[in-house]
Structure 1
Amino acid sequence: MNQTKVLVADDDPNVCEIIRLYFAKQQIDLVIANNGKQALELVEKESPDMIILDVMMPEMDGFEVCREIRKKWDTPIIMLTAKEEEFDRVLGLELGADDYMTKPFSPRELVARIRAIFRRLQPRERTEEDTLQTLSFADLTIDIDKREVIAAGEKVAFRPKEFELLVHMARSPGSVFSREQLLEQIWGYDYFGDVRTIDVHIKKIRQRLHKLPYECIHTVWGVGYKFEVDE
């Protein structure tokens, strides 16, 4: 992760200093914002490779900043929250955050999550499975090379992880995946995150495919999810 630039937006100077010291050892360039408004200005000015947003900040909170960033950029975002309520974590993911961490956290785990997100975004070596670049079902076409989804005759925009999750499941119709399996296979790390991350993204996929005359992502109660189309 040589010369990676990370923007950290947090009004707690102690948190920023801990991150600064650890990032320096990891060869990560750090840009610090002390409030939400400044964070947005620095995203525009610095074009960071990763953004870390504290939920509770002056000027604009982390949720507002995340919402504004997603209007223009796909830069990966990790949310920081000192709260324990599920609402905060799920809302962040629904607004487009890629991951979240609850304070207090270890800088080592933060860097591990950053690395995991970057690994997921990097092109991987082609496998035999990748030779099939278009997945076609009734009223649904997934063009893997172009990263396009056509549902009921209309192009549907997907965020990166939503698309990867859909492709992963659609490659194996009828196969049941546990939330833990999907978290590890799509996010690229072993259970650092909350399995409810999967539920949030499945919900978003279903919403995006709402014009299909059928449900293609099915819940397997007590296990996880499967992709299946009755053609």
Structure 2
Amino acid sequence: MRILIADDEQDMLRILSAYFKKEGYEVCTAENGEEALDVFYREKVDLAILDWMMPKQSGIEVCREIKARSDKKVLILTAKSEEEDELKALSIGADEYIRKPFHPKILVLRAKKLLGDEKGLRYQSLRIDPEGNKIYKDGIDLQLTKTEFELMCSLVRHRGQILSRQQLLDFVWGLDYFGDARTVDTHVRRLREKVGENMIKTHRGLGYSVEAGDE
């Protein structure tokens, strides 16, 4: 699924993009309302996340046009706190409204709910429970650590793609992690012992992947 994030704060765009990419979404970004509409018409966007206060065209104006021309979901972000503003956003068609500041994980969960994508993942013999942070193989809890859980989720969400060590470090350990990339190899080795030796593929000099088409 493809998500448009429009905000005139570059740090906000960078952080939110990282969180959504970690969950396996394609992300398009825009820094003003006109650019947001250009991206919306150019790309097949499933959800638009729009900051209310943007240059050229506001998030409300962009939302109004998107809703007039499509049935795509729109989520409005705003620093405004008045109930009248929330009512205005919802009355012109916004599907959700979140006040700043917020935790990016909350936004991701709200977005998943709008997209009907909050259910657990399945891959081959694995069932992934995102709420419980557990992975089951043939119905048995694998007792994964938090890092192992996040690592397997990242691979499954990006199945069919080779993820480099640096990408996995960003997804699992965070953008501010500056440790040795070889820690990924250690955790992959331990993870393989639990999920099965052949489930995670090694691509020498490139990274790791799981095969596509096995949900």
TM range (shorter): 0.5 to 0.7
For 1:58-207, what aligned pairs fall within 5 Å after superposition? 58-119=55-116
Q: Shift in Å at residue 119 of structure 1?
A: 1.8
The one-letter code of the counterpart of 1:32 is T
2:111 maps to amino acid: I
Match of 1:14 among 11, 21, 24: 11
The residue correspondences of 1:205-216 to structure 2 (distance < 5 A) are none
Across the two proteins, how many residue pairs are aligned to each other?
Answer: 119
Matching of residue 44 in structure 1 with residue 41 in structure 2: yes
Task: State the shift of 1:24 in Å.
Answer: 1.9
Alpha-carbon distance in structure 2 between the residues aligned to 1:12 and 1:87: 24
- What residue number does 1:150 align with? none
Partner amino acid, structure 2, of 1:84: S
Compute the displacement of 1:114 (Å). 1.1
Alignment partners' CA distance in 1, 2:59 and 2:85:
10
SS of aligned partner of 2:38: helix
Identity %: 41
One-letter code aligned to 2:104: P
Query: Tell me, which stretches of 5 or more residues in structure 1 are unaligned?
Result: 123-231
SS in 2 for 1:69: helix
In the other structure, the counterpart of 1:195 is none
The alignment's C-alpha RMSD in Å is 1.7
Question: Who is 1:229 aligned against?
Answer: none
Q: Look up the SS of the partner of 1:11 in the other structure.
A: coil
Partner of 1:132: none
5+ residue gaps, structure 2:
120-215
Q: CA deviation at 1:112?
A: 0.5
Deviation at 1:115, TM superposition (A): 1.2
